[in-house]
Amino acid sequence: MNEFDLLVVGSANADLVVGVERRPAAGETVLGSDLAVHPGGKGGNQAVAAARLGARTALLARVGDDAHGVLLLDAQRAAGVDTVGVLVGGAPTGVALITVDPSGDNSIVVSPGANARLTPEDIRAAGSLLAAARVVSTQLEIPLDTVAELVRGLRPESRLVLNPSPPAPLPAEVLAACDPLVVNEHEARVILGTDAGDAPEEWARGLLALGPRSVVITLGAEGALTADGTAGSFVRVPSPRVDAVDTTGAGDAFTAALAWRLGLGEDLATAAAYAVRVGAAAVTRKGAQDSYPTADELAPAAAPEVPSP
């Protein structure tokens, strides 16, 4: 088995995307653009983002035995992702219904399909893949039992990166393995509940108290906040300024870049400083995987900010 910088364990979806002037409210119908079909899914997106940057990447996922599954596998292979761990069949390929408004913001409904059939048994059967990876990155568009089995199957020297999206209550054993837990504001507020507070530093402190070794909070155009639980250091990482066209999948690109750079030995803030450049590049083009940059396409790093207490 080859060595991998990054193993992504997660979802693969066909993204059915419609541009709209305004995302519809409850009970409302709006007209939109022609339908575009893109390869997506938080797991598939992370794998393509990392591979495009130059990481040796593998994906463990499940797609259906259908045309969407072929589209997704082709996209992974074209990006250079090792797909030996992509299982086929059991249910239709996952689908995401996405509306994007002129500001680049989106709303997404996911029909998990085959993603919901990626089982703990599938994780146990992929032991050699897990053993070959420095860093393992996962999300919550696959069953939580499967994520918990992944945590149990990790080598002690492997690092786990978890983006709990869509957010759900997490078992203590999963939280304790995260290094880091990567969340946006919405995910932080759902996990922390009504006592979340208003400042990212408060969210980071609250999340660290739940058990992860480190936390990264993505802040959109404002960059990210890193919180290293072991070192006790909080660092604000600014993002380059860009004109956002479509934010779909930008968080996945950020997390993939972060995970890869951590596996190369960078500290949390340095890896996040690289990852915000990747996320910023991803919002300047339409789609998720179609928008991801190569390393050569990244904007220079923004000036660092003074660490916050």
- As annotated, the active-site residues are 252
Among residues 108, 176, 190, 302, the one that binds ligand RIB under rule CB under 6 A: 108
Cα 207 to chain centroid distance, Å, stands at 18
Considering the complex, what minimum distance in angstroms separates the CB of residue 140 from ligand RIB?
A: 10
Q: Which is nearer to ligand RIB, 215 or 256 (CB)?
A: 256
141 lies in the binding site for ligand RIB (CB under 6 A): yes
Between CA 200 and CA 125 the distance in angstroms is 39
148 lies in the binding site for ligand RIB (CB under 6 A): no
Between the alpha carbon of residue 123 and those of residues 151, 169, 263, the distances in Å are 10, 21, 21
Between CA 61 and CA 72 the distance in angstroms is 11
Considering the complex, what minimum distance in angstroms separates the CB of residue 42 from ligand RIB?
A: 5
Among residues 4, 7, 41, 50, the one that binds ligand RIB under rule CB under 6 A: 41
Considering the complex, what minimum distance in angstroms separates the CB of residue 32 from ligand RIB?
A: 17
Q: Which of the ranges 10-18, 48-56, 84-92, 128-136 carries the binding residues for ligand RIB, by CB under 6 A?
A: 10-18
* Beta-sheet strands, E only, within the chain: 4-9, 13-19, 36-40, 57-63, 86-88, 94-100, 106-111, 133-139, 159-163, 178-183, 214-218, 224-228, 233-237
**Pairing mode, if any, of strands 233-237 and 13-19?**
unpaired
Closest by CA position to 2, among listed 53, 49, 58, 48: 58
Q: Tell me which DSSP letter residue 114 carries.
A: G
Residues 15 and 37 sit within 8 Å (Cβ to Cβ): yes
248 lies in the binding site for ligand RIB (CB under 6 A): yes
Q: Which is nearer to ligand RIB, 15 or 82 (CB)?
A: 15
**Per-residue b or e along 258-296, where b marks 16 or more CB atoms closer than 10 Å to that residue's CB:** bbbbbbeebbbbbbbbbbbbbbbbbbbebbbbbbbbeee
110 lies in the binding site for ligand RIB (CB under 6 A): yes
- Residue for token digits 């916050």? 308
Residue type, 183: V
Considering the complex, what minimum distance in angstroms separates the CB of residue 198 from ligand RIB?
A: 25
Q: Which of the ranges 7-15, 150-158, 184-192, 216-224 carries the binding residues for ligand RIB, by CB under 6 A?
A: 7-15
Which residue of this chain has its Cβ atom nearest to ligand RIB in the complex? 40
158 lies in the binding site for ligand RIB (CB under 6 A): no
Q: Which is nearer to ligand RIB, 41 or 69 (CB)?
A: 41
- Considering only CA atoms, give the Rg of the chain: 18
Considering the complex, what minimum distance in angstroms separates the CB of residue 12 from ligand RIB?
A: 8
249 lies in the binding site for ligand RIB (CB under 6 A): yes
Residue 209, Ramachandran bin (φ over 0: left; ψ between -120 and 50: alpha; else beta):
alpha
22 CB neighbour count, 10 Å cutoff: 11
Among residues 15, 82, 179, 246, the one that binds ligand RIB under rule CB under 6 A: 15
187 lies in the binding site for ligand RIB (CB under 6 A): no
Closest by CA position to 267, among listed 217, 298, 227, 240: 227
223 lies in the binding site for ligand RIB (CB under 6 A): no
Among residues 79, 96, 237, 257, the one that binds ligand RIB under rule CB under 6 A: 96
Q: Which is nearer to ligand RIB, 14 or 151 (CB)?
A: 14
13 lies in the binding site for ligand RIB (CB under 6 A): yes
Residue ranges that bind ligand RIB, judged by CB under 6 A:
11, 13, 15, 40-42, 45, 96, 108, 110, 141, 248-249, 251-252, 288
